[in-house]
């Protein structure tokens, strides 16, 4: 812990320096799972990238002390050694614990446990004036609640205490084929009422083919059962496997997946975003090409390539949470307007209000419990022309509001400031900023807002950005930078996918 304390003291001193000079600053984490273009400023930057260790796993209390830049795969590897896992694990291995807390981390267990921040018991934070404090439900509780989803705009998270639960060897998944959008939505709504389930999500491949997937943790599997894995280059991509298993079936299909393989089942292919790389380069999309290019098709490499190539400026990556009652009409709109398939469906338990997470203030019959929401993952190519891409995103934001939904703030966000604060409680948020000396930090709106004019000027004013618009220069540059990052080695060397590990003993 002493190394941690020294690192935090250094961060606090740096923040205090900027605070005394009344100089704004940015925070450098070392990695990102946002799709907005990012710039690492060498000046006026507080570097917290070294905070990347799991400091302690307490098997009695079932908690883990984790620094903010610990990615999900390293966290799971550390806790599985003790037979424990976090109740909510982001499905991309490179998403960090701090990112899950400060952002919105909703996964297939979030119908049961809520967003990732709901499994955090306490956080250590450096405030905007350099003070170091602890926040929890019992101490500085208003900050603890407000900082989740605030994308680091209320202070710098330097340590998290995360809840753990008993792990089991496998997840028994059941695939329920559906033959219409309303059938899929209704099936998800029914399944989240089942207290025996640990995981629920769904994939819509078309209007006529969807699959609702439920999961139960288990140590027991039939002797005749075949264990299905997804992490090796020879294994299928998860979404393609599910599609093939259910394409001609009307009956539920069950199979068993080792726990860690289930948690990171979408890593290869980045759900299905990796298929877009084949489309971009005009390459055949088959088992041989996916196997040959496997190193490039894990999420860490895909994010590196997406940012370096600047293809995120014309690629739609949005998670959109809606009331169940309006989800069908919204999906109909996205199909007609974007034509993007597949779509991801993920039920979400809401956080208490006020919040910076997606929310909808409608309660169940008890007048207290907020109704669940349904997330729609919309990921695919948008218009290639910058102005048309921006117009399409603005249209999406208008339609989302029409259907009483809200977007996650990791992606392109075009709301003007007044529009943004129509969605959230500004008085509550500004009160926290004043109370906890965060006004020297960029506000949440300033951090997530995309300025289309500035973006266009940046493209026109840089020959490099201008050149990356032309096929295949952007893609080739993205591949080069991804290789230089060495991120492919992280996937190769991950111990969670070892066939002789905790989750693969069969």
**Start-to-end Cα distance in the chain:** 37
Residue 32's pLDDT band (cuts 50, 70, 90): low
In this predicted structure, the answer to whether residue 501 has a pLDDT above a threshold of 80 is: no
CB 87 within 8 A of CB 119: yes
Q: Which tokens sit at 436?
A: 């906890």
- Distance, in Å, from the CA atom of 327 to the CA atom of 320, rounded to the nearest integer, reads 10
Of 354-363, 371-380, 450-459, the least confident: 450-459
For helices 452-461 and 386-402, the axis angle rounded to 10 degrees is 160
Of 35-39, 76-80, 122-126, 417-421, the least confident: 35-39
Helices within 148-251 (DSSP H only): 181-191, 238-246
Taking CA 411 as the corner, what is the angle to CA 407 and CA 417, rounded to the nearest 5 degrees? Answer: 70
CB 120 within 8 A of CB 162: yes
DSSP H or E stretch at residue 490: helix 487-493
The label of the residue with tokens 């280059």 reads: 233
- Distance, in Å, from the CA atom of 400 to the CA atom of 391, rounded to the nearest integer, reads 14
- Distance, in Å, from the CA atom of 152 to the CA atom of 358, rounded to the nearest integer, reads 17
CB 152 within 8 A of CB 27: yes
- Distance, in Å, from the CA atom of 442 to the CA atom of 1, rounded to the nearest integer, reads 30
Give the pLDDT score at 500.
58
| Strand pairing category for 45-47 and 26-28 | parallel
Give the pLDDT score at 417.
97
Helices within 2-161 (DSSP H only): 2-20, 72-80, 97-102, 110-113, 141-147
What distance separates the 2 farthest-apart alpha carbons in the chain?
Answer: 68
In this prediction, residues 93-117 reach a mean pLDDT of 97
In this prediction, residues 396-407 reach a mean pLDDT of 98
Give the pLDDT score at 455.
79
Predicted TM-score (pTM) of the model is: 0.94
Residue 463's pLDDT band (cuts 50, 70, 90): confident
Closest listed residue to residue 327, CA positions, set 194, 196, 210, 423: 210
Task: Give 410: exposed, middle or buried? Use CB within 10 Å, 0-12, 13-18, 19+.
Answer: buried
At 144, phi and psi to the nearest 5? -55, -45
| Strand pairing category for 199-204 and 343-348 | antiparallel
Closest listed residue to residue 503, CA positions, set 76, 45, 140, 35: 76
Q: List CB contacts of 368: < 8 A, sequence separation 6 or more.
A: none
In this prediction, residues 353-363 reach a mean pLDDT of 96
In this predicted structure, the answer to whether residue 180 has a pLDDT above a threshold of 90 is: yes
In this prediction, residues 267-294 reach a mean pLDDT of 97
In this prediction, residues 286-307 reach a mean pLDDT of 96
Give the pLDDT score at 356.
97
- Distance, in Å, from the CA atom of 150 to the CA atom of 119, rounded to the nearest integer, reads 17
Q: Which tokens sit at 297?
A: 């098709």
Closest listed residue to residue 211, CA positions, set 219, 220, 201, 221: 201
In 6-87, which ranges are E strands? 26-28, 45-47, 54-58, 63-66, 84-85
């Amino acid at each position: 812990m002493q190394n941690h304390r020294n690192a935090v003291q250094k961060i606090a001193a740096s923040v205090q320096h900027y605070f005394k000079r009344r100089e704004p600053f940015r925070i450098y984490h070392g990695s990102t799972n946002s799709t907005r273009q990012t710039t690492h400023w060498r000046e006026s930057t507080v570097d917290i990238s070294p905070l990347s260790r799991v400091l302690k796993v307490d098997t009695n209390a079932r908690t883990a002390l984790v620094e903010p830049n610990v990615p999900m795969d390293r966290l799971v590897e550390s806790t599985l050694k003790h037979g424990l896992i976090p109740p909510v694990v982001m499905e991309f291995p490179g998403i960090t614990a701090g990112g899950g807390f400060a952002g919105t981390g909703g996964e297939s267990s979030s119908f049961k446990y809520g967003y990732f921040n709901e499994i955090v018991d306490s956080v250590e934070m450096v405030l905007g004036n350099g003070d170091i404090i602890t926040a929890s439900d019992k101490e500085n509780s208003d900050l603890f609640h407000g900082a989740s989803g605030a994308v680091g705009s209320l202070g710098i998270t330097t340590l998290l205490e995360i809840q753990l639960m008993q792990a089991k060897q496998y997840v028994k998944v059941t695939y329920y084929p559906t033959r219409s959008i309303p059938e899929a939505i209704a099936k998800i709504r029914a399944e989240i009422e089942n207290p025996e389930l640990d995981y629920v999500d769904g994939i819509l491949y078309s209007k006529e083919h969807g699959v609702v997937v439920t999961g139960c943790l288990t140590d027991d599997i039939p002797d005749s059962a075949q264990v299905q894995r997804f992490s090796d280059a020879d294994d299928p991509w998860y979404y393609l496997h599910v599609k093939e298993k259910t394409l001609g079936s009307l009956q539920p299909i069950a199979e068993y997946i080792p726990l860690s393989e289930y948690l990171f089942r979408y890593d290869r292919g980045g759900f299905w975003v990796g298929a877009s790389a084949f489309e971009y380069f005009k390459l055949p999309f088959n088992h041989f090409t996916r196997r040959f290019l496997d190193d490039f098709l894990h999420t860490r490499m895909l994010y590196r390539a997406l940012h370096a190539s600047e293809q995120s400026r014309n690629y739609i990556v949005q998670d959109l949470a809606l009331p169940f009652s309006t989800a069908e009409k919204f999906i109909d709109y996205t199909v007609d307007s974007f034509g993007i398939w597949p779509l991801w469906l993920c039920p979400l338990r809401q956080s208490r209000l006020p919040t910076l997470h997606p929310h909808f203030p409608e309660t169940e019959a008890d007048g207290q419990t907020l109704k669940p929401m349904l997330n729609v993952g919309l990921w695919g190519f948008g218009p290639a022309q910058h102005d048309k891409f921006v117009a399409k995103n603005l249209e999406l934001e208008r339609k989302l509001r029409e259907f009483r939904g809200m977007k996650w703030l990791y992606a392109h966000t075009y709301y003007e400031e007044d529009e943004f604060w129509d969605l959230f409680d500004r008085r509550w948020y500004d009160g926290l900023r004043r109370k906890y000396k965060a006004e020297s930090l960029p506000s949440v709106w300033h951090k997530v807002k995309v300025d289309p004019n500035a973006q266009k000027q940046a493209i026109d004013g840089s020959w490099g950005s201008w050149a990356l618009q032309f096929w295949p220069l952007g893609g080739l540059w993205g591949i080069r930078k991804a290789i230089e990052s060495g991120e492919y080695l992280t996937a190769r060397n991950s111990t969670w996918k070892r066939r002789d590990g905790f989750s693969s003993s069969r």
